[in-house]
Copies of this chain bind each other. A is one copy, B any other.
């Protein structure tokens, strides 16, 4: 099994078509991939000066691009997440000035004084994640996933902090072992980027940072030839899921549900308005994040309510 490591000499901070592939995989191939954490593994103390370590846009480096043999524009790339191992014994989280969900940011600009930086190193133990050893609370179970996964747009190179129809920084805990992520292929070879491992994350990722961690993952890629999807999708035994990334947050919900409803129409034989009305009663939603450049929502349709399921 090949192992793909981050390109330490030229870490990508955008998802786009302009960087040469660092590895190549075949459809059906299972491979290992290593990722750095969102701070490039540079935080090793709660006293670190984050402002020096994190200089936008040099944040959230990905591993990639990974070339998928045979992938052509108009195909869909499937990425099954088989496993995520956390090789480091701590995760990092932070409050970062002008970033987060309940504070002024560079876009929701305010004249109020910015929040102060806070760094926390969370020990990772066999029992889970110790948020803060000084607090008497139980460890948080590890639920590892990739915050960032995407394929190159045709001409844009999008910050790894942002998201869109190409995937990107979704911060959706559904990008986890057992699930298959579907991404559009817009350039030859698809050019997959992946990173931003999270040991755990609450819905909304409200302060802007999860339990950030490097990862060693195992992935299996596949191709659906000649079939395009308009926005990222995820599937597991229980749900089909559509991801919407936009601002304002209701537009993310619109993108996600529009795709979910028309997906049910196209693949499961319900007309779109019947699907819309049924979704109104059975859908589940994950508010993935309300902090990134674009916010992300995952709309989920339980498979048990799909006709013929």
Q: What residues make up the interface of A, taking CB atoms closer than 8 Å to B?
A: 13-14, 16, 18, 57-58, 93-95, 100-104, 106-116, 118, 120, 129, 131-132, 135-138, 140, 153-159, 200-211, 244, 246-251, 253-255, 257-259, 261, 270, 272-274, 276-287, 290, 295, 297, 299, 304-309
Contacts and interface: CB of A to CB of B under 8 A. Distances in A.
Contact of A93 (B57, B205, B246, B281): B281
B155 A156 contact: no
Contacts of A154: 57
A297 to B, nearest CB: 7
A255 B251 CA distance: 17
A104 B12 CA distance: 34
A17 to B, nearest CB: 9
Given A14-B157, A103-B110, A104-B104, 5 more contacts: A95-B277, A104-B110, A206-B280, A206-B283, A207-B277
A283 B204 contact: yes
Given A93-B280, A137-B307, A258-B102, A246 B249 contact: no
A66 to B, nearest CB: 19
B103 A204 contact: no
A295 to B, nearest CB: 7
A201 B200 CA distance: 28
B136 A307 contact: yes
A200 B116 CA distance: 38
B101 A254 contact: yes
A206 to B, nearest CB: 5
Nearest to A284: B203
Residue from A135, A207, A304 whose CB has the most chain B CB atoms within 10 Å: A207
A272 B111 contact: yes
Contact of A207 (B14, B153, B276, B287): B276
A299 B253 CA distance: 17
A55 to B, nearest CB: 10
Contacts of A156: 14, 16, 57, 156-159
A100 to B, nearest CB: 8
A254 B109 contact: yes
Contacts of A14: 155-157
Contacts of A93: 277, 280-281
Contact of A102 (B57, B111, B304): B111
